[in-house]
Amino acid sequence: MDFLSQHIEALIFCAQKPIKLADIQSCLTEMFETEVPEKDIVKSLEGIMEKYNNDTFPFEVTKIGGGYQFLTKPAYQASIGILLKQQSKKRLSTSALETLSIIAYKQPVTKSEIEQIRGVNCDYSVQKLLEKELIEIKGKSDAVGRPLLYGSSERFMDYFGINDLKDLPSPRDFAPQENVNEVVEKENPTSDTE
């Protein structure tokens, strides 16, 4: 493995969130005091990804959240599942997930708009999502009182393993299920004359 690849690996390893190609290039350019071509970085990244694709490693470099990050491989899901179960107190509540879903699909959105959709106060959920850095303040609305506008953060994409908001399932993918009685009637039509 070449010298450049080792520096790139170190940057990916030390980054607390997926590191973007531009950030890798910026760090390397400052370190080497000359611009490192993007094509050289991409070539090194491909080599690194191929290296960790080998079965001897329990982790790999994955492109996620618009950047690169070390992640464990699916084969180690059981042991990681135990760890995650033990850390389950950090999971999102149903109300937080509902609030986050509304923000992700409607962004930028005000708290009052979220509350209109959910039908309940969402102060606590919004606060928790801000603390977990899954949402961020995107500005202020032009509406009366200039309420804050909320949107998803880069950490949101990392948390859910997507690269872009376009990767979210379409709302039409969540078609409501037919009423059970309607299905039964379609399968067993009866006449009122019987």
DSSP the chain: --HHHHHHHHHHHH-SSPBPHHHHHHHHHHHHTSPPPHHHHHHHHHHHHHHHTSTT-SEEEEEETTEEEEEE-GGGHHHHHHHHHHTGGGSPPHHHHHHHHHHHHH-SEEHHHHHHHHSS--HHHHHHHHHTTSEEEEEE-SSTT--EEEEE-HHHHHHHT-SSGGGSPPGGGGPPPPPHHHHHHHHS---TT-
The answer to whether 149 touches 138, Cβ cutoff 8 Å, is yes
CATH of span 3-74 = 1.10.10.10
CA 22, CA 88: separation in Å to the nearest integer? 34
Binning pLDDT at 50, 70 and 90, where does residue 177 land?
A: low
Mean of pLDDT values over 135-156: 92
Mean pLDDT over residues 93-117, rounded?
93
The C-alpha angle 89, 94, 97, rounded to 5 degrees, equals 95
Task: Give the pTM.
Answer: 0.49
Residue-wise pLDDT tens digits, 80-89:
888 877 765 5
pLDDT recorded at residue 101? 92
Going from N- to C-terminal start, the domains of the chain cover 3-74, 89-174
**89-174 is a CATH 1.10.10.10 domain:** yes
Q: What is the pLDDT of residues 24-78, one digit of tens each?
A: 999 999 999 999 999 999 999 999 999 999 999 999 999 998 999 999 998 898 8
Return mean pLDDT, the chain. Answer: 85
